[in-house]
Homo-oligomer: A and B are copies of this chain.
Amino acid sequence: MNPESIRKLLEEVRAGKLSPDEGVERLRHLPFEDLGFAKVDHHRTLRVGMPEVVFGPGKTPAQMAAIFRKLAKHGKNVLATRATEEQFSAVKKISRGAKFEASARAIVLRRDRKRYGKGLITVISAGTSDIPVAEEAAVTADVMGNQVERIYDVGVAGIHRLLAHREAISRSRVAIVCAGMEGALPSVVGGMIGIPVIAVPTSVGYGAAFHGVAALLGMMNSCASNVTVVNIDNGFGAGYVASLINRL
């Protein structure tokens, strides 16, 4: 069902082939969600500049390539997260322009290089082990048309390293902060600046880090009020929501 079929129905009413009561009855038996005009329009706007995304884990290289080929047809940027070299090899064969961002574990096909974000997104990570998650966030924001700046290895146990970047951070419109272990960095960053901070707990650590739970809890309880949190290792989600904020 679509606008055309409804117009046809209305034309039948106009032509007297269908009484208003019969028209009501026929409309009545349509699944209402198929009417959904506004929905389509609304979403159309929303989707401008949004990449097509595929989550890598559990897919064979062949499956990944097939999905990637299908998504690439829409003419937008395509992003495969948590991808492997093997998946990339298969994708490369069917999509010449695809690149492998190794440190982000991402396959990226860039078509649309327009700048949609109004300002700077800064991605900050506590330790070097947090970089893959930070890069996933950075690459996502980049693919979604944002200027991105990276500030890595500025954990809270060496607070001066972070302070050295204070000016850069305060030029940002949104900050993404990735940290494992005690997950304290978002609180410190949040206290330094007055912008939204998206905290990403990482599964970095061992023992009582519980694969990111300690960091997650730390961030949920941040004493800085400008911090919100996404799932453990969810660099993509952080980059995505930061991009939405940066378009506002």
A89 within 8 A of B: no
A71 within 8 A of B: no
A residues 150-208 near B (Cβ < 8 Å) are: 155-160, 163-164, 166-167, 170, 173-174, 180-184, 187-188, 190-196, 198, 201, 203, 205-208
Residues on A facing B (Cβ under 8 Å): 3, 6-7, 10-11, 13-14, 16, 19-21, 23-24, 27-29, 31-39, 42-43, 45-47, 50, 57-58, 118-119, 126-127, 129, 155-160, 163-164, 166-167, 170, 173-174, 180-184, 187-188, 190-196, 198, 201, 203, 205-234, 236-238, 240-241, 244-246, 248
Query: In the complex, are the beta carbons of B217 and A217 less than 8 A apart?
Result: yes
Interface of chain A, helix or strand or loop or mixed? helix
Instruction: Say yes or no: A208-B217 contact (C-beta < 8 A), given A28-B38, A173-B248.
Output: yes
- Report the bound CA distance from A218 to B6 in whole Å: 39
- Report the bound CA distance from A170 to B223 in whole Å: 25
Query: In the complex, are the beta carbons of A193 and B46 less than 8 A apart?
Result: yes
Instruction: Say yes or no: A220-B228 contact (C-beta < 8 A), given A6-B24, A212-B207.
Output: no
Query: In the complex, are the beta carbons of B221 and A240 less than 8 A apart?
Result: no
- Report the bound CA distance from A215 to B187 in whole Å: 13
- What's the minimum C-beta distance from A56 to chain B, rounded to whole angstroms? 12
Q: Which one of B14, B24, B167, B246 lies within 8 Å of A3 (CB-CB)?
A: B24
Query: In the complex, are the beta carbons of A38 and B33 less than 8 A apart?
Result: no
